[in-house]
Amino acid sequence: MNLFIIRKVIHAMYASYLRSPAKRNWSGEMVIFPGRWITWSLFLLLLLAIAVSIGLFADTINDVEISPNGDIYYEDDAVEYKIIFFFTSVIIAFSLLLCWIASLISKVVISKEEIRSYKWYGRKTISFNDIIRIDRTKLFGGAIVIVAQKKSMMITLDNRGISHFVKFLSEQLGSDRTENATALIAERKKMIQFKEI
């Protein structure tokens, strides 16, 4: 029963991505970005990891003595495990912080001349004139791969406005060159039993 409810929620989420129009920025360019549920989920997991780290630190600090020369002393072996769990939770919290920041930064901006992808590691631009082909992959739950002469760009299906982007891509490049992207969107719609409103 619970799996049925989870599947329905995920399908509704993907349907909203397929149904929602792409946003426009101040210069009229199309902007697609990851769904906000990803950002909020990462934020909540980050808060949980920080709370666990603080709890483990508070639990461990009373059992540890630090000498003036920097040596750490503790009497029980259980304290060693608490220290290991504390450092593990700090590493997990830091990783979640980086993922959360990356989800806030990530977006794809589409103009009449080019596609610009903004990720945590920088910006990548591909001109429509440089596009050789459009591929697809099942990585990250499905993604459109735009292949240019010297670089490629991956745009996942969990971006709001992805259907409008594929439609715009078909208008710019022709439906024969974008059949992989169109087929990927059609497969996703079939998988979630998508109904147009």
83 & 148 share domain:
no
Q: What is the mean pLDDT of residues 175-179?
A: 78
pLDDT tops 60 at residue 194:
no
pLDDT at 17: 62
**pLDDT above 80 (res 185):** no
Same domain, yes or no, for 73 and 123?
Answer: no
| 5 located within any domain | no
Do 112 and 99 share a structural domain? no
Instruction: Say yes or no: 99 and 115 in one domain.
Output: no
Q: Is 197 helix (H, G, I), strand (E, B) or coil?
A: coil
User: What mean pLDDT do residues 34-54 have?
Assistant: 89
Domain C-terminal end among 68, 87, 103: 103
Can you give the pLDDT at residue 52? 93
pLDDT value at position 47?
95
Same domain for 117 and 185, yes or no, is yes
Residues 134, 72 share a domain: no
Count of domains in the chain? 2
**Predicted TM-score (pTM) of this structure:** 0.70
Same domain, 98 and 130: no
Instruction: Compare 178 and 115 and report the one with higher pLDDT.
Output: 115
Q: Which of 51, 84, 103 corresponds to the end of one domain?
A: 103
**Is 15 a domain residue?**
no
Domain match, 125 and 183 both = yes
Query: Has residue 138 got a pLDDT over 90?
Result: no
Which residues fall within 8 angstroms of residue 100, CB to CB, at 6 or more apart?
Answer: 39, 42, 43, 46
Same domain as 158, residue 119: yes
* Tens digits of residue pLDDT in 69-90: 877 777 777 778 888 888 999 9
AA letter at 107: K
Q: Is the pLDDT of residue 67 over 90?
A: no
Q: Which residues of 122-145 are buried (b: 16+ CB within 10 A; e: fewer)?
A: eebebebeebeebebeeeeebbbb
Does the residue 24 lie in any domain? no
Token representation of residue 120: 């945590």
Residue 83, domain member (yes or no): yes
Which of 58-62, 65-69, 107-111 comes out lowest in average pLDDT?
Answer: 65-69
Q: Which residues contact 108 (CB under 8 A, 6 or more apart)?
A: 31, 32, 33, 115, 116, 117, 118, 155, 159, 165
CB burial readout 67-102, b (16+ within 10 A) else e: eeeeeeeeeeeebeebbeebeebbebbeebeebbee
Do 123 and 181 belong to one domain?
yes
Would you say residue 21 lies in a domain? no
Mean pLDDT of 135-147: 80
Please give the residue range of the domain that contains residue 139: 108-191
Which of 56, 75, 103 is the C-terminal boundary of a domain? Answer: 103
Nearest to 162 by CA among 186, 193, 192: 186
Q: Let me know if residue 63 belongs to a domain.
A: yes
Are residues 183 and 113 part of one domain?
yes
